Amino acid sequence: MARLPVAVLVSGSGTNLQALIDAAARPTFGAELVVVVSDRPGVAALDRARNAGIPVEVVAWEEHPDRAAFTVAVCDAAARHGAEALVLAGFMRILGPEAIARYPNRIVNVHPSLLPAFPGARAVAQSLAYGVKVSGATVHFVDEEVDHGPIISQEPVPVLPDDDEATLHRRIQAVEHRLLPEAVDALAAGRLTIQGRSVRWS
């Protein structure tokens, strides 16, 4: 069976990308990572991609006049490699509606909280500041609002009394590294159906 060609969007070290690379090495995995797109040059995620033989593209935010132009450039970079879906794996930019139009129900994001709690870029720090006893990881479809689309999967992570941002984030990432490849594989296999805000697995 043909694999779903996927572009992975990154901004940093690429640990979720590495989890996808490792998963894609299995012959039963349903997606092929056809390109890694970063909004920043020189990040470790690009080295991970090159080491795995995956083409890379850099689409720098500051080289575009607005979010719409940046979004179109990201989508164009993905399309040049035949990507039919986008996976946001630690991608720290917000895509505009142009991406939703080009990849409807084909954009997946991973987020370090149990959404809808603590959306945005500082979820782990905000979770600790609020004093929650349980945090977690969420994989969801992307819509036109930030960290808002239909939820594909979630898993709780207990907050320990001596946790700081780094220790909690590491444990959340360990869960993300499992949930994200599972969700991408299910998307590729056509096993995810969106019904309103619910995502049904088959």
86 falls within a domain = yes
197 falls within a domain = no
Residue 100 belongs to domain spanning:
4-109+139-152+179-191
Domain total for the chain?
1
pLDDT of residue 75: 99
**Residue 177 a catalytic site member:** no
User: pLDDT digits over 144-184, tens only?
Assistant: 999 999 999 999 999 999 999 999 999 999 999 999 999 99
125 falls within a domain = no
15 falls within a domain = yes
167 falls within a domain = no
120 falls within a domain = no
24 falls within a domain = yes
User: pLDDT digits over 21-57, tens only?
Assistant: 999 999 999 999 999 999 999 999 999 999 999 999 9
Check if the beta carbon of residue 166 is closer than 8 Å to that of residue 184.
Answer: no
| 1 has pLDDT over 90 | no
CATH code for the domain of 65: 3.40.50.170
Catalytic residue among 81, 111, 169, 177: 111
